[in-house]
Amino acid sequence: MNLKEELQSILRGEVNDSPDLLKAYGRDASLFEVLPRIVVFPKDAKDIQALVNFAQEHPEERISLTCRSGGTDMTGGPLGESIIVDMTRHFNKILEIGNGMARVQPGVYYRDFEKVAKEQGLLLPSYPASKDICTVGGMVANNSGGEKTLSWGKTEDYILDLKVVLADGREHDIRPISSLELEGKMNDPEFEGDIYRNTFSLVRDNAEELKEAKPKVSKNSAGYYLWNVWDGSCFDLTKLFAGSQGTLGIVTEITFRLISPKKHSALLVLFLYDLAPLADIVDVLLKRKPETLESYDDQTLKFALTHIPDFFKILGGSFFSLGVQFLPELFMFLQGGFRLPKVVALAEFTGDSEEEVSEKARHAQHDLRRFSLRTRVAQNDAEELKFLTVRRQSFNLLRHHVKGVRTAPFIDDIIVSPKVLPQFLPRLQEILKKHPSLVYTIAGHVGDGNFHIIPLMDMQKQENRDMIPGMMKEVHDLVFSFGGSMTAEHNDGIIRTPFLKDMYGEKIVDLFRKTKKIFDPMNIFNPGKKVEGSWEYAATHLIRENNT
């Protein structure tokens, strides 16, 4: 039997190896193309277990399993050369929701989950900008964060329980446990006991080094979060699975803690024509405790204004009513020789009444008077949504609408403490100015010091392809010198795994290797991500096509 026949004989779900499908699954939102051998659509946890056992029983064939859901990853995380495991076709059920929690399967799209949660007055607040096209399983795999992370934290803060098929081919329950429960787990002679014994020894024996290695920023998706596993009384392996990109096992079910969001909001919009005071402006705004503090640059705004019909489709409504909403920005675009603000910043204030949030926004607006800024408090929900949609949808629209070039996410997720922005930003600009031909957009979570820099590049030109690793290293070295992370929420994948040693040093990367070995001794789960990735491999899989 060939591979397709063998897999179909052990699975209840579908198996497909058509060339068109393999090509589609060989790409995500990253710069890479990696063609798999086959794609499977497992029906249930038993199918996942059968896949893991099959991989373990065929070591000579180097079978590996790479999970994929929404395909929105910007790092190449869900790309693999062997078996792609699609979780969206069958693992797409909301099993339970209410009382401040939800039990879901990983292939549930966040947009669908959000609607059901909203009916219950609940929210999973760690959604990324791609919330309309990502899944909750991808959010766990990347430890996603987004606009509300400033106030509410990342996905790791909302995981109560995971069901995971580990390398022994069995489904296990992973949740925070007490020191007494940990002792019981470590007495287990089976594979699960090995995991608890070896992981506990690893984090205990290297506690000081791990504490020192933890990035000094509010969010981070680089490496394995070994520093979060053991606090002396609670042992929590969910912290290790969050952000692990499917390299330690396959998640089959997630239990989330949810919040009850505030019912009212007010959006203060700032138009900055000079970047020099940005850090001071952020400092002033943070003292007023906005729930979110987002930003996007003039290139992003220009793209939005020149693709207004696409935003009409996203926002819904009539051409006339939505066109009126964009008139202030169109006026800015036309006046003064197409002069646009360098940065648009969005500070969202939430509360229990319209009066409360309006007062918060007005106070913040008053605090900013000394900067001589143009500011505006959005007049209604529709206007708020307009500004937020430009921020949330810019990357996805860039991906599909720029012609003759393509989005090139390789310095797309850097983060430093907001306190160092006055020193950091000028030096970052110096690096970017070394490449005057490079066109790029900058958006992100300015309240966290987290910036998404997305160049638009002609990937058919070898000089552009050759530029990527050197520019990455230069930007990363600057970020590391300020105690930051090269990825706050997008993760490592193919693109950043080769640079983990630059960020953490050889000793910590070796601990990452040992972690992978503990959970996945035969390297069947999404190999080449987090550990053992090389730039040589990445370079040979860089995509060569531009958008047409």
pLDDT of residue 401: 65
Read off the DSSP letter of residue 200.
H
Topology given in CATH for the domain delimited by 263-401: Alpha-Beta Plaits (3.30.70)
pLDDT recorded at residue 320: 46
Please report, in tens digits, the pLDDT of each residue of the chain (548 residues total).
Answer: 799 999 999 999 999 999 999 999 999 999 999 999 999 999 999 999 999 999 999 998 899 999 999 999 999 999 999 999 999 999 999 999 999 999 999 999 999 999 999 999 999 999 998 899 999 999 999 999 999 999 999 999 999 999 999 999 999 999 999 999 999 999 999 999 999 999 999 999 999 999 999 999 999 999 999 999 999 999 999 999 999 999 999 999 999 999 999 999 999 999 998 888 988 999 999 999 999 999 988 888 877 777 666 666 655 654 445 455 555 655 555 554 557 888 899 999 999 999 999 999 999 999 999 998 889 998 877 777 777 777 777 766 666 666 778 889 999 999 999 989 888 988 998 999 898 888 888 888 999 999 999 888 999 999 999 999 999 999 999 999 999 999 999 999 999 999 999 999 999 999 999 999 999 999 999 999 999 999 999 999 999 988 75
Look at strands 374-377 and 439-445 and give their pairing.
Answer: unpaired
Q: For residue 537, give Cα distances in angstroms to 191, 215, 326, 533.
A: 32, 27, 45, 7
CA angle 288, 292, 298 (to 5 degrees): 105
Q: Rounding to the nearest 10 degrees, give the CA dihedral for residues 461, 467, 469, 470.
A: 170
pLDDT at 312: 60
Class of domain 94-257: alpha beta
> In angstroms, how far is CA 505 from the centroid of its own chain?
23
DSSP assignment, residue 491?
Answer: -
Nearest to 505 by CA among 166, 210, 80: 210
Q: Rounded to 10 degrees, what is the CA torsion of 233, 235, 240, 241?
A: -130
**Res 159: pLDDT:** 98
Residue 497 to residues 193, 239, 465, 533: CA-CA distances in angstroms? 29, 19, 18, 5
In whole angstroms, what is the distance from residue 257 CA to residue 155 CA?
A: 10
Q: State which fold the 3-89 domain adopts.
A: 3.30.43
CA 521 from centroid of its chain's CA atoms: 27
pLDDT of residue 333: 53
Retrieve residue 332's tokens.
């800015």
Query: What's the token pair of residue 279?
Result: 């850090």
| pLDDT for position 129 | 86
Domain ranges of the chain: 3-89, 94-257, 263-401
Q: Which two tokens stand for residue 145?
A: 């964060």
d(CA 111, CA 139): 12
- DSSP 3-state helix, strand, coil percentages of the chain (rounded to 5)? 45, 20, 35
Q: CA 241 to CA 243: how far, in whole Å?
A: 6
In the block, tokens 């086959």 appear at: 38
Q: What's this model's pTM, rounded to 2 decimal places? A: 0.92
Query: In this structure, how many other beta carbons lie within 10 angstroms of the beta carbon of residue 467?
Result: 18
Residue 453's beta-bridge partner residues? 411, 442
What confidence score (pLDDT) does residue 407 get?
Answer: 87
**Per-residue pLDDT at 289:** 96
Chain-centroid distance, C-alpha 163: 21
Here the tokens at position 422 are 């006055």
The Cα–Cα gap between 447 and 458 comes to 32
Q: What is the dihedral of CA 72, 77, 82, 87, to 10 degrees?
A: -50
- DSSP-derived letter for residue 302 is H
Q: Which two tokens stand for residue 466?
A: 């050759």
